[in-house]
Amino acid sequence: METTMKKLQMVDLKGQYEKIKAEVDKAVLDVVASSAYINGPEVKAFQADLEQYLGVKHVIPCANGTDALQVAMMALGFKPGDEVITASFTYVATAEVIALLQLKPVLVDVNPDTFTIDPVAFEKAITPKTVAVVPVHLFGQCADMDQIMAISKKHKLHVIEDVAQAIGADFSFAVGRKQKAGTIGTFGCTSFFPSKNLGCYGDGGAIFTNDDELAKKTRMIVNHGQSVLYYHDEIGVNSRLDSIQAAILRIKLRHLNEYAAARQKAASYYDKAFSGNPRIKIPSRENKSTHVFHQYTLVLNGADRNALREHLTAKGIPAMIYYPVPLHMQKAYTDPRYKQGDFPVTEKLCANVISLPMHTELQEDDLKFITDSVLEFVTKNA
């Protein structure tokens, strides 16, 4: 008998773990037995593996993606009052560290199709105080790095890529060169939060750079500003990746491309089911960037989002709103410079986006059930 209730998850970490259980369990127990819990050989080995995968000179592991952004800005020596431009449609961490370091977050609107920073708006926001831009490769697809790099070069700005949601994505420059997301700007910053495309089993993060001097400084900053024990040349932080997490990440890194392919396959199923429906806008896929689908996010056009979410919840299908409130409307980031209506694309997205389950373990019957359920609602409520 056909069931109308199915238990689905936004992210199936357990299902993914079960497939690599033997390998992961052994690696974790090996670290436990080694007692090299902090900065052990697994951390160094993961660092080298990731450098090779990304094609970047330096990977500096740290405690989480928020720290990665903070440490990158500390390494660049930005001073209070310096302006850092970023997208108004992003996770709070991007702007949080700018504010925390007493720099001035300058928000700009995003492209309605890619959800990433609008290069024209970025250039318009540059002032003599601007020191950097933080493009966020939101939901798994790169921002337009051709334009962002060209504008940044012209205005001598640093580019700090927030690649927390797009590790493994490739960006193809107009000149034909291809680079991994996060290896293009001065720094790339990522998160290994469990639900990320490359996630560990706790918190973790990393900073990428091709600059030897900056790498050296960054490595000191994550370790209390020291390169020789108890000699502190910089003001630093304590931000380390645990050896156990590094051991897990080494295993998962070997599967990262296959994980991306599974996500892309699920996204193609969703695309096919929803394309052409006037009430649903499917995620755009840009020629310049591969999409690793950290999220599969629809933009609703006239469909009631809350009612759709309730309809899905009643069938056991989770759906999330990334993100319900634009940064400039968040209480903590209220600023006389900004008011409602200033970032119309972001505000429209915040009111109309809905993300469907997206992970490596989705089966065709899951996808059919989800798409049928969305379409049932949309058709009924047309």
Ligand X SMILES: Cc1ncc(COP(=O)(O)O)c(C=O)c1O
Shortest Cβ distance from residue 165 to ligand X (Å)? 5
- Between CA 265 and CA 359 the distance in angstroms is 10
Shortest Cβ distance from residue 181 to ligand X (Å)? 12
Residue 248 burial by Cβ neighbours in a 10 Å radius (0-12, 13-18, 19+):
buried
Which parts of 154-213 interact with ligand X (CB under 6 A)? Answer: 162, 164-165, 191, 193, 203, 205
Shortest Cβ distance from residue 88 to ligand X (Å)? 13
Task: Determine the interface stretch with ligand X among 1-9, 86-94, 227-235, 248-256 (rule: CB under 6 A).
Answer: 86-94
Q: Going by DSSP bridges, is the β-strand pair 104-108/83-87 parallel, antiparallel, or unpaired?
A: parallel
Interacting residue with ligand X among 64, 183, 243, 245 (CB under 6 A): 64
Total binding residues toward ligand X, as defined by CB under 6 A: 15
3 state SS for 95-154 = HHHHHHCCCEEEEECECCCCCCECHHHHHHCCCCCEEEEECECHHHECCCHHHHHHHHHH
Given the complex with ligand X, which of 269 and 283 has the nearer CB atom? 283
Shortest Cβ distance from residue 355 to ligand X (Å)? 12
Q: CB under 8 Å to 66, separation ≥6 — which residues?
A: 93, 96, 97, 191, 205
- Interface mask toward ligand X for 126-145; x: CB under 6 A: ----------x---------
Shortest Cβ distance from residue 268 to ligand X (Å)? 23
Task: Determine the interface stretch with ligand X among 39-47, 59-67, 74-82, 106-114 (rule: CB under 6 A).
Answer: 59-67
Residue 76 is which amino acid? L
Q: At what angle do helices 305-314 and 364-380 cross, to 10 degrees?
A: 130
Task: Evaluate whether 247 touches 43 at the Cβ level (below 8 Å).
Answer: no
> Is residue 93 involved in binding ligand X (CB under 6 A)?
yes
Question: For residue 22, what are its two tokens?
Answer: 């033997």
State the residues that interact with ligand X by CB under 6 A. Answer: 64-66, 90-91, 93-94, 136, 162, 164-165, 191, 193, 203, 205
